[in-house]
Structure 1
Amino acid sequence: MVQTKRRDEILKEDKWKVEKIYKDIESWKKDFEKLKSMAPKLSEYAGKLFEGKKLLEYFKLDEEVSRLAGKLAIFAHMKNDEDTANPTFQVLRDKIYAYSAEIKSMEAFFIPEILSLPEGTIDKFMKAVPELNMYKFLLERILKKKPHILSVEQEELIASVSDCLNAPEKVYSMLSNADMTFPKIKDERGKRVELTDVNYSGFIRSKKRSVRKEAFKSLFNTYKKYKNTLAASLTSNIKNFIFISKTRKYKSSMECSLKPNDISLDVYNNTIDTVNNNLKSLHRYVSIKKKLLGLHEMHMYDLYVPLIDTVEEHIEFDEAVKIVKEGLKPLGKEYLDIFDEGIKNGWVDIYPNKGKRGGAYSTGDYDTMPYVLLNYNYKLTDVSTLAHEMGHSIHSYYSRKDQPYIYSDYSLFCAEVASTTNESLLIHYLIDNETDKKRKLYLINQELEQIRTTVFRQVMFAEFEKVTHEKIENETPLTGEDLCKIWRELNVKYFGENMVVDEEIDMEWSRIPHFYWDFYVYQYATGYAAAHSFANAILENGEKAVESYKEFLKSGSSDYPINVLKKAGVDMTSPKPLEDTIKRFDELLDMLETV
């Protein structure tokens, strides 16, 4: 058994160069004191934003404060994630996080004060102080909120009860993560082991049908015992969001969620309609999978079992870099040069070590490199993770380089597009160049599963959200039985006649934490579809499509997300991106039948 190394045993060239932010803790502390002396000056502008020069002064100070706070926070959280057991960096992280919350309260006057200015004032400011024109889009977004911003007293009241309004999510989290226990089941060797919400994902993929069936029934029958509590928790959360949307004078809770980002309700509804119009592709997937697994009946617990065992491999990191670069070749020399710079100049923290945070992510701020945390484990999935996280970081690199600080972050709606475009290009390359039949089948199945879970499954989730919110808005009470019935009907519709929709699946709605983040999940499907559209265009149209894609990467949040994508050639108000993704799903099913 290979022992996990200590942090000091990892080679310097395999670690991110966090010292480029601060060479030591003393430098960090010095800047932290500087921040504490600067930030309180923000409050001095309260009540003074009635002249253009003062507004510009405030913007400049706020940027200086935010950039310094961002730099301090990135260093502290990166150092803490290198070794989560090190109390020194826990303290630094907690200090800057707590002070960042204080800064938010110092800035709290800003939006209400802008909204209290008489109509036309901002235009006058811009004529008098041309430098303010840079902030035009930012101010336009704030002014659009005017019909939905309440009086100062009402805003303070909503802020003061925010903790209470978040209570259903906390109750759900405590119940599902801390209090709920699951029975013991037999693993593949016949040994009795305790089922948990975490290890369930391994059991449901088991090649042994009795194992996945027992895990499936045990998990959902445990959730069923808490059906009424879980239903009360979810419906209370929905009611809270509806209360906020009504209080803020939105026509619906969906509008309250989408309108601030200028996303039309049509985008959400068209996403659901497009997938519903193409469910025959998912039905075909179920039929082919049933046949390839040699099953008389396809049950819900058979859905996640791989068509072929994971291909054993050991891919050194240097080899992973070469594979990813081959996959990303269609993006051109400039993109690959930035990728190389990241690998060679210390963006990436490659290997696991004792105490290091698990998983992978891209991080950084305007004045730092766009860092990547990995826990590289020599598998093909790790190669894909490298492509994904570098996609995020190169997106950040471009947007920070080409946009002023205020527009350098990209929106949540666009956040997964660049990372998924990289993954899409990589899997295309791997499938097209694989000669071994078994490995090719494995890769085809990987991409199929990604589209099934990210597009079809997430849109089913989005449809459940739409139905439940609309029913409660129309004053139709929903019990646990009602939620189970809605969920069951969706599963029957989505999976078709070749799937036995087991009664246990009726409780699956209660296991989805994303339902506590209103109208969030549809963005997984739209993001994937946008990424697939970019990858498709790049592979078909070459340099011209690459230039359009790079314009997207450079845009940050300089416009609304739908416009940012549209300018680069991907129109998310039309069904085409999703239809093209489903077309790829069909092509993969054709390959599956002919390999």
Structure 2
Amino acid sequence: MAEQYKSRADIPQQYVWDTSSYFASEEACVAELEAAQEIPALIAGWEGKALSSGENLLSYLRFEDEQTLRFERLYEYVARRADEDTRESRFQDLMGQMRSLYARMEEASAWFQPALLSLDGDKLDLWCQDVEGLSLYRRALDKVRALADHVLDPAREALLAKAQEMAASPEVCFSMLNDADLSFPPALDSEGKEHEVTHGSYGPLLMKEDRALRESAYHSVYGTYGKMRNTSAAILTAQMKQLEFFASARNYVSTLEASLAPTEVPLAVFDSLIESAHRNAPAMHRYMALRARALGLERMRYWDVYVPIVKMPERHYSFEEACDLMLEALAPLGEEYLSVVRKAIDERWIDVYETPGKASGAYSSGGRGLTPLILLNFMGTLDDVFTLVHEMGHSMHTYLSSKAQPQRYAPYEMFVAEVASTTNEMLLMHHLLEHAQGDAERAYLLDSLCEKFKSTLFRQTMFAEFERDANNASMSGEGSGAAALSRRYRALNDLYYGPALETDEEIALEWSRIPHFYYNYYVYVYATSFAAAVALSEGILREGEPARERYLGFLSGGCSKPPLELLAGAGVDMASGRAVDEALARLAQIVDELDALI
């Protein structure tokens, strides 16, 4: 097992992220936050002036870039420190101040989009032609103008901006309940020994061979969420209602359309993902039946879904071993890529170990010239190695985009946000399969790969369908209480996983523990990105340098082009849905090979 720490103060410095690139100290951050209270007034001071000439428009846009970076540096520092211990009130208080400042900035700039839309198109063309530097911003300006039907007058834009702080409340409430207040009773193994259950340990416990321990951990978690079901439903309903409010205010037909339109992703891409998952569900049903047979079960229960069906000696990795394996697996991406990965390790971009109160799960955060920091809750399992590789993919995407693009185009759209991370995972899997020692290890890894398809493509698509349908039900006035949400979730579990898995009332509550339902239709990008990653990783390994250069060009693209166009440049067709079908066809082949080996 990985090192276990009861206090953050006990962790050696090399395993704790370095936030000094944002601010040298908490005091420096607080001083800058106080100074940054001037930003809304500075923004408001440009009203009536920013669009009076091409030169003024360029000056305003550059000013906006500067203030955005100023705010994001503050936000990243405060948010990262808050996640070190969610029970610590001082950084939670600072997060409240950041949300308030952001809302006031949005309110102060509410005049800009309506003013831009009222500007004569020919005049904007002339300005971009005559004013040196303004053409850089043309794509950003055109994106605003493309959404003209959904931009309101200045007064109503200001009102919507003022509501943003309130709109963040559901996610904040979920985070406090889930990360700070919730605890789980210990799980008991077949010999009656207690095992601590936390957000970080739950996944590894479900992979244990001891079925009694797996079942006990499962009941520990879902029994706890079951006691909170009505509170959880109320929080999720509040999230859906705030999305509905903004969608309706901006004249969108649905919350899904409101989420996708600004990212330049057609609704058809979302819908075709779900249709493809339904169409190819038999491959997943076959895999689940194969699992049940390998485990000697007539039907599996949900505590049987993650345990490996091929017995291999349990392997645990130190963090250093995990880093070495990551560097070996990512070698096909070239030495320049690897040099930045080493930089991330050496310069402490990564916060490694779980401690009480630390935010659960894992993420990479940063951007626009800021050091991309990675939060882990590393337990030493192979899954944790995959998580490290995954989050490093995010950080590399952020780093390369920020290095190649001007600040305005450094952030990448949500639709491609999981491509780099999942491509890294697929390269790690290819590396492990290439070095497998015998049929047993190969079968073990193929089972793990099927699990990746299940958890990333099928499960995330199921989440996306649940999110879409629950939001639609909320908009139409149907029930969104705990019972209604659980019925919908349970039905989808049956549809996606098939008859080999026996459903129950506890798994129907899984919606209550998924933080991504508070990210506004984020989950579907895991599935589309996985499909893209299957194609990209196989292309890199098959073609070598040409495919690698196309891929690194994609990573450096930021949002300089529409996301579907960026992926097409890397050689992946996401617009037609073909990439999803091809990835799922690959799953069917993997299940065939796994079946033959066991």
Segments of 5+ residues of structure 2 without an aligned counterpart are none
Confirm whether residue 47 of structure 1 aligns to residue 48 of structure 2: yes
CA–CA distance in 2 between the matches of 1:229 and 1:361?
Answer: 26
- Aligned residue in 2 for 1:590: 592
- Aligned residue in 2 for 1:455: 457
Any idea what SS the aligned residue of 1:362 has? strand
Per the TM alignment, residue 424 of structure 1 is displaced from its structure 2 partner at its CA by 0.9
Any idea what SS the aligned residue of 2:298 has? coil
Confirm whether residue 523 of structure 1 aligns to residue 513 of structure 2: no
**In structure 2, do the counterparts of structure 1 residues 37 and 248 end up closer, same or farther at CA, with 3 Å as the change threshold?**
closer
- Aligned residue in 1 for 2:298: 296
Any idea what SS the aligned residue of 1:499 has? coil
**In structure 2, do the counterparts of structure 1 residues 410 and 181 end up closer, same or farther at CA, with 3 Å as the change threshold?**
closer
Read off the aligned partner of 1:452 and give its amino acid letter: K
Per the TM alignment, residue 90 of structure 1 is displaced from its structure 2 partner at its CA by 8.1
**In structure 2, do the counterparts of structure 1 residues 338 and 108 end up closer, same or farther at CA, with 3 Å as the change threshold?**
same
Q: Is the 8 A contact 1:300 1:505 kept in 2?
A: yes
Deviations 1:258-300 (Å, cap 9, x if unpaired)? 1111111110110011111111111111111011101133234
Deviations 1:443-462 (Å, cap 9, x if unpaired)? 33332222101111121222
CA–CA distance in 2 between the matches of 1:221 and 1:92?
Answer: 33
CA–CA distance in 1 between the matches of 2:178 and 2:349?
Answer: 34
Q: Is the 8 A contact 2:111 2:154 kept in 1?
A: no
Q: Is the 8 A contact 1:362 1:390 kept in 2?
A: yes
- Aligned residue in 1 for 2:417: 415
Per the TM alignment, residue 587 of structure 1 is displaced from its structure 2 partner at its CA by 3.5
**In structure 2, do the counterparts of structure 1 residues 82 and 140 end up closer, same or farther at CA, with 3 Å as the change threshold?**
same
Read off the aligned partner of 1:491 and give its amino acid letter: N
Deviations 1:55-87 (Å, cap 9, x if unpaired)? 111112222233344345545555676788999
Q: What is the RMSD computed on CA atoms of the aligned residues?
A: 4.2
Matches within 5 A, 1:177-326: 186-190=188-192, 201=203, 204-205=206-207, 207-213=209-215, 216=218, 234=236, 237-308=239-310, 311-313=313-315, 315-326=317-328
Read off the aligned partner of 1:534 and give its amino acid letter: L
- The counterpart of 1:491, out of the listed 469, 493, 496, is 493
**In structure 2, do the counterparts of structure 1 residues 477 and 502 end up closer, same or farther at CA, with 3 Å as the change threshold?**
closer
Read off the aligned partner of 1:320 and give its amino acid letter: A
Per the TM alignment, residue 409 of structure 1 is displaced from its structure 2 partner at its CA by 1.2
**In structure 2, do the counterparts of structure 1 residues 137 and 460 end up closer, same or farther at CA, with 3 Å as the change threshold?**
same
**In structure 2, do the counterparts of structure 1 residues 143 and 172 end up closer, same or farther at CA, with 3 Å as the change threshold?**
same
Q: Is the 8 A contact 1:347 1:369 kept in 2?
A: no
**In structure 2, do the counterparts of structure 1 residues 465 and 361 end up closer, same or farther at CA, with 3 Å as the change threshold?**
closer
- Aligned residue in 2 for 1:140: 142
Deviations 1:228-286 (Å, cap 9, x if unpaired)? 77666655654553443233222333212211111111101100111111111111111
Any idea what SS the aligned residue of 2:521 has? coil
Q: Is the 8 A contact 2:6 2:356 kept in 1?
A: no
Deviations 1:159-214 (Å, cap 9, x if unpaired)? 45556666666777777788989888754333688988887656655544455456
Deviations 1:486-535 (Å, cap 9, x if unpaired)? 43433332222333333554444455454454433211211222222211
CA–CA distance in 1 between the matches of 2:486 and 2:82?
Answer: 42
**In structure 2, do the counterparts of structure 1 residues 291 and 248 end up closer, same or farther at CA, with 3 Å as the change threshold?**
same
**In structure 2, do the counterparts of structure 1 residues 538 and 244 end up closer, same or farther at CA, with 3 Å as the change threshold?**
same
TM-score, length basis structure 2:
0.83
CA–CA distance in 2 between the matches of 1:176 and 1:13?
Answer: 28
Per the TM alignment, residue 143 of structure 1 is displaced from its structure 2 partner at its CA by 1.4
Any idea what SS the aligned residue of 1:305 has? coil
Matches within 5 A, 1:13-412: 18-19=19-20, 40-48=41-49, 49-74=51-76, 102-161=104-163, 186-190=188-192, 201=203, 204-205=206-207, 207-213=209-215, 216=218, 234=236, 237-308=239-310, 311-313=313-315, 315-344=317-346, 346-349=347-350, 352=353, 357=358, 360-374=362-376, 378-412=380-414
**In structure 2, do the counterparts of structure 1 residues 495 and 315 end up closer, same or farther at CA, with 3 Å as the change threshold?**
closer
Alignment coverage as a number of residue pairs: 594
- Aligned residue in 2 for 1:502: 504
Percent identical among aligned pairs is 36
CA–CA distance in 2 between the matches of 1:221 and 1:318?
Answer: 36
CA–CA distance in 2 between the matches of 1:286 and 1:349?
Answer: 35
CA–CA distance in 2 between the matches of 1:240 and 1:357?
Answer: 27
Deviations 1:381-418 (Å, cap 9, x if unpaired)? 44333322322222122111210011111122212211
CA–CA distance in 2 between the matches of 1:391 and 1:370?
Answer: 11
Per the TM alignment, residue 334 of structure 1 is displaced from its structure 2 partner at its CA by 2.8
TM-score, length basis structure 1:
0.84
- Aligned residue in 2 for 1:570: 572
CA–CA distance in 1 between the matches of 2:553 and 2:278?
Answer: 32
CA–CA distance in 2 between the matches of 1:530 and 1:46?
Answer: 43
Read off the aligned partner of 1:592 and give its amino acid letter: L
Read off the aligned partner of 1:433 and give its amino acid letter: H
CA–CA distance in 2 between the matches of 1:521 and 1:20?
Answer: 30
Read off the aligned partner of 1:275 and give its amino acid letter: A
**In terms of mean alpha carbon deviation, does 199-208 or 244-253 score higher?**
199-208
Segments of 5+ residues of structure 1 without an aligned counterpart are none
**In structure 2, do the counterparts of structure 1 residues 298 and 434 end up closer, same or farther at CA, with 3 Å as the change threshold?**
same
CA–CA distance in 2 between the matches of 1:173 and 1:89?
Answer: 14
Q: Is the 8 A contact 1:327 1:426 kept in 2?
A: yes
Higher gyration radius (CA): 1
Q: Is the 8 A contact 1:552 1:565 kept in 2?
A: yes
**In terms of mean alpha carbon deviation, does 496-505 or 135-144 score higher?**
496-505
Any idea what SS the aligned residue of 2:133 has? helix
Q: Is the 8 A contact 1:5 1:352 kept in 2?
A: no
Any idea what SS the aligned residue of 1:298 has? coil
**In terms of mean alpha carbon deviation, does 518-527 or 160-169 score higher?**
160-169
Per the TM alignment, residue 124 of structure 1 is displaced from its structure 2 partner at its CA by 3.2
